[in-house]
Amino acid sequence: MITIESVQKKLKEKGLKLTNQRKAIIEVLVENKDNFLTAEEIFLKSREKCPQTNFSTIYRNLEILTNLNIIHKTNIENNTSMFELVQNDSHHHHIICKKCGRTEFIDFCPLDKILSEVNKKNFTLTDHKFELYGYCDKCKKKDNR
């Protein structure tokens, strides 16, 4: 699990500081560790902790933290970017509720067979994403889905 101290160490290794805004972002994501949040949600929650924060600072820091593999970014069907704290460095995938953003890990890779076929095509795959979208029980009950 990512802690403020481990984030500070990763930032320091890259010559970056743990600013008040970055700390607020990490705290918000720790408090919401079972959900993906939009940049706007992170912005609003971060402002409660660090009132001088502006949206462009949040978005710039989300990109930095994503590039450092501290947070994970995904896009849902309406092309909205959503973010979560990286809680597990091992290879995994997600099930994501389209309504509330709640996430669950899939601890195995259902793409293993496909990956072996890709390798046969003399193609070096460097990364992939596999995310399943639907509705959690709580949201299904609310909306009678």
pLDDT (0 to 100) of residue 142: 84
Third-level CATH fold of 90-145: Dna Ligase; domain 1 (3.30.1490)
Q: What is the pTM of this model?
A: 0.72
Higher pLDDT, 84 or 25: 25
Higher pLDDT, 90 or 41: 41
Angle, CA of 112, 115 and 116, to the nearest 5°: 90
Query: DSSP labels for 111-142?
Result: THHHHHHHHHTT--------EEEE--HHHHHH
**Sorting pLDDT into bands at 50, 70 and 90, what band is 89?**
low
**Residues forming the annotated binding site for Zn(2+)?**
97, 100, 136, 139
pLDDT (0 to 100) of residue 26: 93
User: In the predicted model, is pLDDT for residue 5 greater than 80?
Assistant: yes
**Sorting pLDDT into bands at 50, 70 and 90, what band is 42?**
very high
% residues pLDDT > 70 (the chain)? 95
Domain-by-domain residue ranges, the chain? 1-86, 90-145
Beta bridge partners of 85: 71
Exposure string over 88-111, b if 16+ CB within 10 A, otherwise e: eeeeebbebbeeebbbeeeeeeee
Tell me the pLDDT of the chain averaged across its residues. 86
**Residues forming the annotated binding site?**
91, 97, 100, 128, 136, 139
pLDDT (0 to 100) of residue 2: 72
Third-level CATH fold of 1-86: Arc Repressor Mutant, subunit A (1.10.10)
Beta bridge partners of 97: 134
